[in-house]
Amino acid sequence: MKRALIISLALLGAWFFLDMTGLYFGDVYLVTRSYAEDWIFLLAYAICLLSFFLFEKVGKYVLDAWLFLWFMTQFFFHWLFTFNGRGAEKIEYFSGSIKLIEIQNVYIPDLYHIVLHILILLSLVLLNIYIFQSRKKRVAK
């Protein structure tokens, strides 16, 4: 289980790092270079990862809290606009991004953000399974 968790955390880190560099394909992009806005998220993720690897007993809870807060932030800044129909500015802002689904006048997160959200959620679920299994092993001893 820990191996799957580490792989998901590494994939999440690598995917999110694209946000620091940007990835462009001619006139469209997977993600723009947004380090000026998002460097704090990368720093927080790195600190939480370090706490997990260096001080696992406490670090797993620090990482768990961060992943939950990060997912909720992403939900409120992306998916909430899809559900409440107020995404006109988002549609314009992400007009050059690669999209899986495009519906006129409805904001749906682009490919980069959908994958980011899946990776955050996957890491969060795997970490909670790991935490649960760790507690079970501790209680069984």
Q: What is the pLDDT of residue 3?
A: 95
Q: What is the pLDDT of residue 120?
A: 97
DSSP type of residue 75: I
The one-digit pLDDT tens for each residue of the chain (141 residues) are 899 999 999 999 999 999 999 999 998 999 988 888 889 999 999 999 999 999 999 999 999 999 999 999 999 888 877 777 677 787 888 888 999 888 888 888 899 999 999 999 999 999 999 999 888 777 766
Q: What is the pLDDT of residue 101?
A: 86
State the pTM of this model: 0.89
Q: What is the pLDDT of residue 28?
A: 92
Q: Where are the beta strands (DSSP E) in 69-137?
A: none
Q: How far apart are the C-alpha atoms of 130 and 136, rounded to whole Å?
A: 10
Q: What is the pLDDT of residue 60?
A: 96
Q: What is the pLDDT of residue 140?
A: 66
Q: What is the pLDDT of residue 34?
A: 87
Q: What is the pLDDT of residue 80?
A: 78
* Residue showing tokens 């990482």: 63
- By the 8 A CB rule, do 127 and 5 touch? yes
Q: What is the pLDDT of residue 65?
A: 97
* Residue showing tokens 């209680």: 139
Whole-number Cα distances in Å, 117 to 10, 109, 121: 14, 10, 6
Tokens coding 56: 């696992």
